[in-house]
Amino acid sequence: MRYPRWFWAAFGAPGLVWVALFFVIPVYTILAIAMGQPDPIFQDPIPEWNPLQWDVGAFETVFSGFGPGEAFYVVFLRTFAYVAIALALSLAIGYPVAYFIARHGGRWKTLLLIGLVAPFWISYLMRMLAWVNLLQDDGYVNRALMWLNVIDAPRAWLDGRPSTVILGLVYGYIPFLILPLYAALDRIDRSLLEAARDLGAGRIQTFRRVTLPLSKPGILAGSVIITLPMFGDYYTPDLLSGSPRTNMIGNEIYLFILQGSQRRVGAALVIVLMLILLVFMLYYLVSTTRASKELEA
Amino acid sequence: MSGMRRWLANPWGRPRFLALLTVLYMVWSIAPILLAVRFSFNEGRSRSTAQGWSTRWYWDEPDLSVWNDPSLRQALFQSLKLAGLAMAIAVPLGIALGVALTRWRGRGAGLARSTTLLPLVTPELVLGVALFLTVIHLFHFIDLGTVAQLVGHVTFSLAFVVIIVRGRLLSIGKEYEEAAMDLGASPVQALRLALLPLLMPAVFASFMFVFAISIDDFVISQFLSSSASTETIPIKIYANARGAPTPALNALASAMLFATLLAVALAFLILRVTRRSRGERGSAMGDFANLRV
């Protein structure tokens, strides 16, 4: 006897219904709100479920804000800059660390891995709170820098500084980058490295021509994993700066959806953001599907 | 000199610079958290300087400590309540879905699989906005507050459970169920008696993951919160991090940290024992880091 044909579909049905109700329909709702008309009296958005009657007014508002120097233009450019710098810094710090633990961890490996995994179990908000504590005017960062004579007077680190926000992004997301990097580097067969050395390649050449190409999937996967949430971040700038000067796309969406009455514009912004991120999302889905197919084969 | 040359010639020698960088990274990564926990035990009111030791901000202080400030205690209970309920719903739902999606080979299976995994790559902000708009404009049977937050947490963590179960299933193979059915078990019996016991490590890991995701979740909880009574610990941290007058906020965050670490340590021990009893070798922590359970 084997499982009947319908068996698995029926077994997965409750979960699939859940995903349809609470993921697929809600994502469509964003579109329906963005394409709907505002209520003439209260200016509340009215969702438009029929694509034939969609109104692109909200998108016109958003796109007119994209002219050079306009509000959204500045915020989008700033977001891209912050994310790019934070990603580059994370890779520059994360790759050597992951490489060292995978290759040279030795008897310390378990302890180092606990160190890598630990931030996963600590709330992101608490990790930001820890930096708020440290970066206060009388905090340990200012005191250490003054003791080292780097600065003469306490600096207001939490007062709208892009560098602080970028530090927060790196600190917040780097654990999610290091783990895939570690997994990719740990999987590399050591005999390949020995073969490269036997064939006369030096340390650097072995790294450049064997290790680096073999760890590329880990670099890409890790970069996508941290880029996606960084684009939707609003709490890191809020906690570490709190100034409109460091607002990211996420802050604008948060303000439009939760604080203001312009929910249509907020919804249109979310759609624009999703279109930008779609490339990354699809890349990640395709590569994980391919990886699990290989596992099955 | 010859020692130096041997050190350079040895391809597996430890690069000192990388070792230093790794140690610095670990300190940078962990020290701020330890200091935040340290300040929560302050005797004084400072959140940026160590001032003696006490449990004042946990329960001793009337009105202002975590236990005696109604709004902080409320947040603690709301977080724990949501995590418990999310585990109770997301784990069975996700396990069934994970098994079904791995074994199901019919029309629509591919679409179902990628749709299920999409929440994994959707920024939480998008999911939060989507559910918020749906609850106020379409699903009038759900109110903002605990129920909406619970729906959000389950939706967000479901894909993680599916991934965990899938990974485990691919390493088990179909043989055990087939053997059970050849011996006369019905499909449901084969699942319950042959597959489920083999899936237990994945079940434990799922419980732990859902707990950690739910208790740490901020964006979804905030978008779907209705009033002060449904604020969770991360929302309290967000609202008060810059302005909090006392280390009670650090105490609240630390309490959450202790709860999560306890849950993780427990799940990890169970995982280790089951690995031992199956005679699997290698580093349990390594598998853990690679999400192989």
Which residue do the tokens 């490996």 mark? A109
Question: What's the mean pLDDT in A1-30?
Answer: 86
My answer on whether A187 and A272 are in the same domain is yes
Contacts of A115 in chain B (CB under 8 A): 26, 29-30
My answer on whether A86 and A49 are in the same domain is no
Contact criterion met (CB below 8 Å) for A265 and A61: yes
My answer on whether B22 and B154 are in the same domain is no
- Measured from the Cβ of residue B119, the count of other Cβ atoms closer than 10 Å reads 21
Region of poorest pLDDT, from A56-60, A176-180, A207-211, A288-292: A288-292
pLDDT of residue B292: 44
pLDDT of residue B161: 92
Full residue range of the structural domain in which residue B229 is found? 68-289
My answer on whether A97 and A40 are in the same domain is no
Look at residue B285 and tell me if it is in a domain: yes
Look at residue B52 and tell me if it is in a domain: no
In chain A, residues 40-59 whose CB comes closer than 8 Å to chain B: 45, 47
The C-alpha atoms of residue B57 and residue B43 are separated, in whole angstroms, by 8
Taking each helix axis from N to C terminus, what angle separates A124-134 and B16-40, rounded to the nearest 10 degrees?
A: 90
pLDDT of residue A234: 93
The C-alpha atoms of residue B198 and residue A94 are separated, in whole angstroms, by 35
Instruction: Round the average pLDDT of chain A to a whole number and report it.
Output: 87
pLDDT of residue B45: 83
How many pairs of residues across A and B have Cβ atoms under 8 Å apart? 296
My answer on whether A44 and A86 are in the same domain is no
My answer on whether B285 and B222 are in the same domain is yes
When pLDDT is cut at 50, 70 and 90, the band that residue A296 belongs to is: low
B12, B21, B22: best to mutate for the A interface, most A CBs within 10 A: B22
Contacts of B14 in chain A (CB under 8 A): 104, 106
**pLDDT for residue A240 is more than 80:** yes
Question: What's the mean pLDDT in B225-244?
Answer: 88
My answer on whether B27 and B98 are in the same domain is no
| % of chain B beyond a pLDDT of 90 | 31
A218 Cβ under 8 Å from any chain B Cβ:
no
Q: What is the ipTM score, two decimals?
A: 0.88
My answer on whether A11 and A113 are in the same domain is no
My answer on whether A86 and A232 are in the same domain is yes
My answer on whether A177 and A280 are in the same domain is yes
pLDDT of residue A53: 80
When pLDDT is cut at 50, 70 and 90, the band that residue B127 belongs to is: very high
**pLDDT for residue B279 is more than 70:** no
| % of chain B beyond a pLDDT of 70 | 90
The one-letter amino acid code at A7 reads F
Q: What are phi and psi of B66, to 5 degrees?
A: -55, -45
Look at residue A66 and tell me if it is in a domain: no
My answer on whether A88 and A20 are in the same domain is no
My answer on whether A47 and A75 are in the same domain is no
My answer on whether B29 and B77 are in the same domain is no
Chain B residue nearest residue A202, CA to CA: B11
Joined together, the tokens standing for residue B12 give 């597996």
**pLDDT for residue B11 is more than 70:** no
My answer on whether B17 and B83 are in the same domain is no
pLDDT of residue A295: 62
**pLDDT for residue B4 is more than 70:** no
Look at residue B141 and tell me if it is in a domain: yes
The C-alpha atoms of residue B121 and residue B159 are separated, in whole angstroms, by 10
Look at residue B46 and tell me if it is in a domain: no
Domain count, chain A: 2
My answer on whether B135 and B257 are in the same domain is yes
Domain count, chain B: 2
Question: What's the mean pLDDT in A267-295?
Answer: 82
My answer on whether B280 and B147 are in the same domain is yes
Full residue range of the structural domain in which residue A243 is found? 71-296
My answer on whether A109 and A165 are in the same domain is yes
Angle at B205 between CA A124 and CA A126, to 5 degrees: 15
My answer on whether B73 and B26 are in the same domain is no
pLDDT of residue B195: 85
My answer on whether A120 and A199 are in the same domain is yes
pLDDT of residue A15: 92
Print the SS3 string covering chain B.
CHHHHHHHHCCCCCCHHHHHHHHHHHHHHHHHHHHHHHHHCCCCCCCCCCCCCCCHHHHHCCCCCCCCCHHHHHHHHHHHHHHHHHHHHHHHHHHHHHHHHHHCCCCCHHHHHHHHHHHHHCCHHHHHHHHHHHHHHCCCCCCCCHHHHHHHHHHHHHHHHHHHHHHHHHHHCCHHHHHHHHCCCCHHHHHHHHHHHHHHHHHHHHHHHHHHHHHHCCHHHHHCCCCHHHCCHHHHHHHHCCCCCCCHHHHHHHHHHHHHHHHHHHHHHHHHHHHHHHCCCCCHHHHHHCCCC
Q: What is the dihedral of CA A260, A261, A263, A266, to 10 degrees?
A: -30
Look at residue A62 and tell me if it is in a domain: no
When pLDDT is cut at 50, 70 and 90, the band that residue A62 belongs to is: confident
Look at residue B116 and tell me if it is in a domain: yes
Give A100-152 pLDDT, tens digit per residue: 998 888 888 888 988 888 888 888 999 999 999 999 888 888 888 989 988 88
Look at residue A127 and tell me if it is in a domain: yes
Look at residue A64 and tell me if it is in a domain: no
pLDDT of residue B12: 56
| Most confidently modeled range among A64-78, B158-172, B216-230 | B216-230
My answer on whether A177 and A203 are in the same domain is yes
Look at residue B62 and tell me if it is in a domain: no
My answer on whether B18 and B117 are in the same domain is no
- A97, B170: Cβ pair inside 8 Å? no
Region of poorest pLDDT, from A120-124, A279-283, A290-294: A290-294
Instruction: Round the average pLDDT of chain B to a whole number and report it.
Output: 84
pLDDT of residue B209: 87
My answer on whether B8 and B110 are in the same domain is no
- CATH classification at residue A107: 1.10.3720.10
Look at residue A65 and tell me if it is in a domain: no
**pLDDT for residue B5 is more than 80:** no
Region of poorest pLDDT, from B88-92, B106-110, B143-147: B106-110
- CATH classification at residue B178: 1.10.3720.10
Joined together, the tokens standing for residue B161 give 């459970």
Look at residue B63 and tell me if it is in a domain: no
When pLDDT is cut at 50, 70 and 90, the band that residue A244 belongs to is: confident
Look at residue A63 and tell me if it is in a domain: no
My answer on whether B173 and B121 are in the same domain is yes
Look at residue B51 and tell me if it is in a domain: no
- A129, B155: Cβ pair inside 8 Å? no
pLDDT of residue B293: 39
Closest among B191, B197, B199 to B170, alpha carbons compared:
B199
**pLDDT for residue A292 is more than 70:** no
**pLDDT for residue A231 is more than 90:** yes
**pLDDT for residue B269 is more than 50:** yes
My answer on whether B75 and B28 are in the same domain is no
**pLDDT for residue A220 is more than 80:** yes
- A15, B97: Cβ pair inside 8 Å? yes
- A124, B234: Cβ pair inside 8 Å? yes
Region of poorest pLDDT, from A86-95, B25-34, B117-126, B179-188: B179-188
